[in-house]
Structure 1
Amino acid sequence: MSDKESPRFRPRARLLQLLGDQLIGSPRLAIFELVKNAYDADATQAVVTMSRLDKPDAAITVVDDGDGMSYDTLRNIWLVPGHDHKAKSRAEGVRTLKGRLPLGEKGVGRFAVHKLGQAVEVVTRRAGGPELVLKIDWEEIAASEFLDEARVEIIERFPESFAGTNGTSVTVTGLRGEPWTRGEVRRLFRQITSISSPFAARSDDFAATLVLPQQQKWLVDVPHTETLLESAPWQFTFSLEDNRFSWRYEFRGFKGIALSPRTVEGSEYGLLLDPKDLPERDQEALKAEKKQPRAVRSSVTHQDGIGPISGTLMVYDRDKDVIEKIGHSASLQEFLNESGGVRVYRDGIRVYNYGEPGDDWLGLDIRRVNSPTKRISNNIVVGAVDLSLEKSRGLEEKTNREGFVDGIALGRMRALIRGAVSVFESERNKDKQNLRKLLSKQRDSLGGGIEKPLQQIKSLAKKHNLSDEVDPLIEKAQRAYSDMREIMLRAGISSMSLVIVYHEIDHGVRLLHTALRRGADADGAIQQARDLVAVLDSFGDLLRKGEASDHDLRDLAERAAELNSIRLSNHDIALEVRVDRGANSMLVPTKFPFGLVLGAVTNLVDNSVYWLSSRWPENTPEAKRRLLIAVDEEAFGSPALIIADNGPGFADGLEDATEPFFTRRPDGIGVGLYYVNLIMHTIGGSLRMVDTDLLPLGSEYDGAALALVFPRG
């Protein structure tokens, strides 16, 4: 057969579409790939700019200050799918001037741009060279039948984008897929800013930043990672090199809890492993032994293809008794929901997607099932494992850029890290046990907390001949307090919250005590006693609602609307419910005690009814009272139920408005918003004011707007 007749491969032009669209899992991951390319180019920074995201001409640009590309590199490497120059450099140990080995190896990551948009413009310049411009329209490429028939043009010009410097700019337009939402942008921000390990010492500097010229407010309240990491009660660092395991455990303690900080260090040859954690091949070898070991000590062999491992774990406590003591409770909950897990870094640069929400690659949650009090869960740890790119050649990244290829090296690495986690857990359990004992004493100490002052009030009432009027109220207050305390403890509501409640009730008791001691008039003293009973009764009514279970937040919104519809109609209030029940809609899952939270929502509706009537009295011409109940999944990083109206709005900040006994209503006690805030904290959520610049609700809702933010289900 002649050469002319020999068959040959001729890839279709649409192959490039498939490479970009099918190999890369998400637009966020596509941007992550472009940032990694900046690292490979020896850049010190990559700036991702997302412009006009709400307009048809939206664009995404990634600019770096790396080496840039020559005409030869652009033509013979960048435009050649599957080029292996990076893989060869890594295999030969060829490093850049900054000492980096290339992260890329398969030669397809740059085609991630197709995942992002229809057209791409690459502008690049090497030091002292001309500026080169390459423009690609993917539809034009796909219109060619075969790949070798597709034509692109590289234009050489006098430097404009990189005058006096070097680097590369990649701009994508004609963005594909769903519009970028606030939630997706915030997740992208966390992703690209986590490209460098927050713990590892680096010999070079590389950072990625995200800029939104028109939507910068979307990032205003993103939790400050460094502050939240510093607030972790536990820190554990470890290293395993040549089978020498060294570690340092630090318990930092909690503000307001009398537990002393503690630090322990250790070093030993080998690490104890659970045989069940090892890869199947290693388990088969153990089965050949006469007696099956319950634990195995690691050997140098277990690090073959992995190299040295080091790690840092920042561990938190999400127990209701504790989290309020850490501070930043709302932002911390959001931070742990989004960032909880253990990430993997090679040469200080992140390997996606380890440590992403829902990716429990170490199986921490599964191993916790049988020992929930002794094991840590994936959502209370923010950790990083660091590897050497040069020495971890047994760990190969998947083509889709979502982790390592499953194999014996990955299985052994997982077992080794689990072994290190077990050492941490053994030390942590000592401090957890002391913490439980201390909190148990605190809880028990609340039983007779108001008994003594109430007895003193009875004595003073007798002295002022008010026993007949005051004693029945005091006895009712005692019963209500005991009832409320029992409900809170039985429902698992934190003793820290109970302490807060106790102090506020104690405040009311002391006011009554002082009034009697100073000889207040009978009517005033009796009214203060009634107010105290009302406070206690209100707590009891709100708390007598059941335990937490899984719910669709949309059901809560609709039930609250149904429950209040007649009342709102009687007050001429137009009710709008924004809940997505369309064919493509999905559940909005979260976990909470339905009746308890329904009471909180009704409390907010009560406030709106009052203040709407205040702004729009009955005799106001064309009074248009409006109330909105809506469900949102993006604005706060977790599911949220929003209550908004067109009343006068808040005259005070949320911190003041949720203070107990603070009110601007002439007939108010000042506990409504306090209860709502307390309830949301006890279920791991939060009460927040809505910034309508960040979350537009419509010009008709220009009054108060509050969000009940729930933990993810």
Structure 2
Amino acid sequence: MDLKSQKNFFQPRARLLLQLGDKLIKNENIALLELIKNSYDADSRWAKVKLVNIGNKDKGYIEIIDEGEGMDIEIIENVWLEPGSDYKENLFRKRVRTPKYLRLPIGEKGIGRFGVHKLGTKIELISKRKDKNEVVVKIDWNEFAKNKYLKDAKFDVFERTNPEYFKGNRTGTKIIISGLRSEWDKRMVRELYKSVFTLNSPFHKTGKFRVELDTDDPKLLEKMPKWDDVEKFALWHFKCKIEGSEIKEFLYEFTPWASLTGVKSRKITEKDDYINDRSTLVFEEKINGKKKESILNLSKNYGDNDNPKTIGPISFEGYIFDRDKLTLDLSQHQGITLLKDYLDEQGGIRVYRNNIRINEYGEKGNDWLNLDMRRVNIPAKRVSNNIILSVIDLNEEKSSALIEKTNREGFIENEAFNDFCTSILYTLNIIETLRKDDKDTIRRKFNPTEKQEPVINSLGKLRDLVDSKVEPESLKIEITKHLVKIEKDYNHINEVLLTSAGIGLTMGVGIHEVQKVISELNYLVKEESVPENILNLVKHLDELIENYSDLFRQAKNQEEDSVKLINGAIFNIEYRLKAHNVQLIKDYQNKPSKKIECSKRLMLGAIVNIIDNSIYWLERKRKKIDVSNIKFEKKILIDLYNNENYVDILVADNGSGFGLPIHQLTKPFVSDKTSGMGLGLHIVSEVMKVQNGQILFPEIGEYDLEDEFENGAVVVLRLNKKKMI
């Protein structure tokens, strides 16, 4: 017979919520970002994050404040206190938008709040909704560890008829987290800043969402970039007004950085002949099988006589960046990594009507103008979403021909929408043409010449020829895709080239073979031979490059102790340090040692190589300073930084810093030494690559260093931690 159990239901343990937070929320940054998303969903214009005394776990606390809709007791009890609530998911599915800024929720799972315990053991939530009482929730997460079952872990939830924080007509939510789980260091705060920074928009729009990060210790965010710093990277700015069939106003500005010596700035307006000759909007259409250029008129009636509809005036403004590594390294600005993160998140062209954002356009992954595909076709000229920050402004009354979809996700793709896109792309094409001239000027002056990089130069010429001569369009696109991949793989080989004679010879043979195939391709395109032959040769070249690339992708690592590894390297070079009277500061010995994945032999050589480099340049600085009778004490600092997934070994000196641009430091046979071969840092770079690590040259402020080291040479070797099974 069957004996039926009396316990035929789940009885969740109290620690389940703690486990949820631990498993679903990766780190402190993500936990805070989840709370910030809640402020966005609450229709707030901003979220303010305040960090107070966070280096002290017992006395520190974190505040998150917004001015959104707030919550009443009903929402707290039936939504906020229900793990996995589908409240926001239903709003998103039904496309229910917030009343002020017409936002769809970005936090849908209802679990983000349980990551709060990742930040601290105590939480106090204060919230007020319009015409409702102020609600307070106080939770001590320690109670969830003490009690066996979830139903036994009690906490305080109550209302205040006389609000203490959100007084008068104020609404919103304030969260205070104390009993911090971690002592926040400078690096953690700066990583949080970077994450928060990518959420902010440079264009002042009603309905934008702004995040502010404040701390009681200004040094934690010292030298971190603001939007003004990101804007400094923008070499190009444009601002246009399109109306009817004309570009009525046009402003194009090229402002080279001070470091781009010899490159002149320029400003072009609608008064210039070049723009005046191109101000009329035209588009290409096929009539009876023949291509014909027609004039585009955005003021025409897209409706009928009883219900006229037009597109009206369009304002189009934006900033364009150059993400080419060689060019960025010439900028001398701090924050290149943050710039790339920001552009990856915020890049694209967004659309506003009466200052209210039309969702979808400009969202990450939504290439509504096919910018990325256009760039594949003509990479040297076109802009992609991750190098442009732009907004389009429309007048609601005059743009009635552009009709929003019922789900409010963009416009209906009718004739008016197609004309709207055409006008934007027409204007953008003019901007791209002007930009290419300026971009080419920079490349000619600062980037490698044909003699230095014959393969890359030949590939560039070949792409231009393919673009102008090969038809049909589908074949042109396929060939161009292969050429882009060829260039990427070729650059990989160049970067990973080791210095042994055997591999060097192999590479020489490879380059010779590649050059022969490219020469044949250039000849075929010029002679307008059969396009299929061109495609076959390109595919052959693609495979050839990929085979050479595979020669450099092998490495064997094992578990090593990070502190012992550094001690071993110092032992190997200790005599030289003493001989040159260099003071070694061993800050790494104060840090807990971690297990890392690496080759001990290769890493010992890499660390010694970097220290040896510092010894050379410290001696050079001493000789220079001796002339002016100023006392100089040579120092090298070695430190260790632990992260969740990797370990950073930092070597810094108090010398004069690197004399070469960062992008040239790891290039083979490039040296700033009088008789140097230029192989030291190149070998270190290759050693790190074969161990799935990195060599980094951090910007000022990334690590907490004394000023004398900030201005010297700073090198970081990043290695993966040993994975726990």
TM-score, normalisation: structure 1: 0.52
1 CA distance for matches of 2:253 and 2:10? 63
Deviation at 1:250, TM superposition (A): 7.5
Instruction: Please say if 1:138 is aligned against 2:141.
Output: yes
Deviation at 1:442, TM superposition (A): 5.3
Matched residue, 1:316: 321
Larger displacement relative to structure 2 (121-130 or 425-434): 425-434
Q: What amino acid is aligned across from residue 110 of structure 2 in structure 1? A: G
Give 1:224's match in structure 2, choosing from 214, 223, 226. 226
SS where residue 434 of structure 1 aligns? helix
Q: What amino acid is aligned across from residue 111 of structure 1 in structure 2? A: F
CA contact (8 A) 1:12 1:145 kept: yes
1 CA distance for matches of 2:368 and 2:321? 19
Instruction: Write the mapping of 1:149-298 to structure 2, written as runs, cut at 5 A.
Output: 149-156=152-159, 159-164=163-168, 165-176=170-181, 179-199=183-203, 201-202=205-206, 204=207, 206-213=209-216, 215-229=217-231, 231-234=233-236, 252-255=253-256, 256-258=262-264
Deviation at 1:606, TM superposition (A): 1.5
Matched residue, 2:617: 604
2 CA distance for matches of 1:189 and 1:55? 19
CA contact (8 A) 1:311 1:383 kept: yes
2 CA distance for matches of 1:229 and 1:711? 30
Distance 1:139-1:601 versus aligned 2 partners, 3 A rule: same
Superposed CA deviations along residues 276-295 of structure 1, whole A, max 9, x for unmatched, are xxxxxxxxxxxxxxxxxxxx
Matched residue, 1:573: 582
Matched residue, 1:17: 18
Deviation at 1:232, TM superposition (A): 1.6
2 CA distance for matches of 1:384 and 1:112? 35
SS where residue 341 of structure 1 aligns? helix
Q: What amino acid is aligned across from residue 40 of structure 2 in structure 1? A: Y
Instruction: Write the mapping of 1:369-518 to structure 2, written as runs, cut at 5 A.
Output: 373=380, 380=387, 430-431=433-434, 434-435=437-438, 438=441, 490=452
CA contact (8 A) 2:696 2:718 kept: no
SS where residue 151 of structure 1 aligns? coil
Superposed CA deviations along residues 561-602 of structure 1, whole A, max 9, x for unmatched, are 789754431244332456698414789x9xxx9999989744
2 CA distance for matches of 1:625 and 1:230? 35
Superposed CA deviations along residues 403-434 of structure 1, whole A, max 9, x for unmatched, are xxxxxxxxxxxxxxx99999899767745663
SS where residue 176 of structure 2 aligns? strand
1 CA distance for matches of 2:367 and 2:117? 29
Q: What amino acid is aligned across from residue 63 of structure 2 in structure 1? A: T
Distance 1:572-1:371 versus aligned 2 partners, 3 A rule: same
Q: What amino acid is aligned across from residue 75 of structure 1 in structure 2? A: E
Superposed CA deviations along residues 261-301 of structure 1, whole A, max 9, x for unmatched, are 56888979999xxxxxxxxxxxxxxxxxxxxxxxxxxxxxx
Q: What amino acid is aligned across from residue 188 of structure 1 in structure 2? A: L
Distance 1:140-1:373 versus aligned 2 partners, 3 A rule: same
**Identity over the aligned pairs, expressed in percent?**
26
Instruction: Please say if 1:583 is aligned against 2:583.
Output: no
Distance 1:103-1:218 versus aligned 2 partners, 3 A rule: same
SS where residue 62 of structure 1 aligns? strand
Q: What amino acid is aligned across from residue 434 of structure 1 in structure 2? A: D
1 CA distance for matches of 2:357 and 2:186? 28
2 CA distance for matches of 1:115 and 1:361? 38
Give 1:706's match in structure 2, choosing from 684, 689, 712. 712
Deviation at 1:194, TM superposition (A): 3.7
1 CA distance for matches of 2:598 and 2:38? 36
Matched residue, 2:466: none
CA contact (8 A) 1:35 1:62 kept: yes
CA contact (8 A) 1:236 1:424 kept: no
Give 1:75's match in structure 2, choosing from 71, 74, 77. 77
Larger displacement relative to structure 2 (230-239 or 554-563): 554-563
2 CA distance for matches of 1:321 and 1:119? 48
| Number of residue pairs aligned between Structure 1 and Structure 2 | 509
Instruction: Write the mapping of 1:42-53 to structure 2, written as runs, cut at 5 A.
Output: 42-53=43-54
Instruction: Write the mapping of 1:514-553 to structure 2, written as runs, cut at 5 A.
Output: none
1 CA distance for matches of 2:324 and 2:607? 20
Q: What amino acid is aligned across from residue 595 of structure 2 in structure 1? A: A
1 CA distance for matches of 2:229 and 2:609? 33
CA contact (8 A) 2:88 2:107 kept: yes
Distance 1:129-1:614 versus aligned 2 partners, 3 A rule: farther
Matched residue, 1:36: 37
2 CA distance for matches of 1:385 and 1:117? 43
2 CA distance for matches of 1:248 and 1:23? 51
1 CA distance for matches of 2:359 and 2:190? 18
2 CA distance for matches of 1:266 and 1:187? 47
Distance 1:237-1:600 versus aligned 2 partners, 3 A rule: farther
Distance 1:183-1:354 versus aligned 2 partners, 3 A rule: farther
CA contact (8 A) 1:315 1:382 kept: yes
Matched residue, 2:66: 64
Give 1:123's match in structure 2, choosing from 90, 102, 126. 126
1 CA distance for matches of 2:133 and 2:451? 72
Distance 1:9-1:640 versus aligned 2 partners, 3 A rule: closer
Distance 1:617-1:562 versus aligned 2 partners, 3 A rule: farther
Superposed CA deviations along residues 585-632 of structure 1, whole A, max 9, x for unmatched, are 789x9xxx99999897445322565599999999xxxx9975425577
Deviation at 1:209, TM superposition (A): 0.9
Distance 1:257-1:557 versus aligned 2 partners, 3 A rule: farther
Deviation at 1:161, TM superposition (A): 3.8
Deviation at 1:79, TM superposition (A): 1.1
Instruction: Write the mapping of 1:292-307 to structure 2, written as runs, cut at 5 A.
Output: none
2 CA distance for matches of 1:392 and 1:604? 66
1 CA distance for matches of 2:423 and 2:610? 41
Instruction: Write the mapping of 1:336-347 to structure 2, written as runs, cut at 5 A.
Output: 336-343=339-346
CA contact (8 A) 1:341 1:383 kept: no
Matched residue, 1:55: 56
CA contact (8 A) 2:652 2:713 kept: yes
Q: Gaps (5+ residues) in structure 2?
A: 242-246, 257-261, 270-274, 286-314, 394-401, 410-420, 455-493, 499-554, 556-561, 661-671, 686-694, 720-725
Q: What amino acid is aligned across from residue 220 of structure 2 in structure 1? A: W
Deviation at 1:210, TM superposition (A): 0.8
TM-score, normalisation: structure 2: 0.51
1 CA distance for matches of 2:83 and 2:12? 11
Q: Gaps (5+ residues) in structure 1?
A: 240-245, 272-309, 396-417, 445-485, 493-546, 660-670
Q: What amino acid is aligned across from residue 198 of structure 1 in structure 2? A: P
1 CA distance for matches of 2:629 and 2:634? 7
Larger displacement relative to structure 2 (253-262 or 45-54): 253-262
CA contact (8 A) 2:696 2:717 kept: yes
